[in-house]
Homo-oligomer: A and B are copies of this chain.
Amino acid sequence: MKLVTRDTDYAIRALCYIAKRKKSIVSVKKLVRDLKIPRPFLRKILQRMNKSGLLKSYKGKGGGFELSRAAGAIFVADVMKIFQGPLKCNEHIFKKSLCPHIRTCALKGKLDMIQKHIVSDLKSISIGSLIKKGK
């Protein structure tokens, strides 16, 4: 029962780190130095976030990454979608298989309800809220 995978976790750490810096463009070098994330893996992760529009990238000397929007407008759910796909937890069970028994639908109803709660929670956690010292 894994809610968040390692790349999502690393991505969130990187986002928080970038969000906290004054100088907004941050290079992989600095991120690796301070976060102790394996360099090539982190690079791949940042590139994906760039492609997905969560980060903006600058090539060449002095380049790096910056947030594409305010930290308060980036949510854990956004990051998860990039690295873990659509936020569904039950599809693999109820796809095209015949669902002839009532109990199947009963279970589906309950699990869908749980999923709704999870997703709405994940959509409420912003990067901004994670870097506030006060709480």
**Complex CA–CA separation, A114 to B111 (angstroms):** 15
Residues in B whose Cβ lies below 8 Å from that of A132 = 106
| Interface size class of chain A, counting residues whose CB lies under 8 Å from the partner chain | 35 or more
- Given A16-B103, A103-B16, A121-B114 contact (CB < 8 Å): yes
**Does any Cβ of B come within 8 Å of A104's Cβ?**
yes
In the bound complex, how far is the Cα of B109 from the Cα of A121, in angstroms? 13
Q: Enumerate chain B residues within 8 angstroms of A131, measured Cβ to Cβ.
A: 102-103, 106
Tell whether A52 is near chain B: CB-to-CB under 8 Å: no
Contact at B104–A13, with CB atoms within 8 Å? yes
The reply to whether B130 and A103 contact each other, CB–CB distance below 8 Å, is yes
Chain B residues with Cβ below 8 Å from A110 are 76, 121, 125, 130
**A117-B115 CB under 8 A given contacts A12-B107, A93-B9:** no
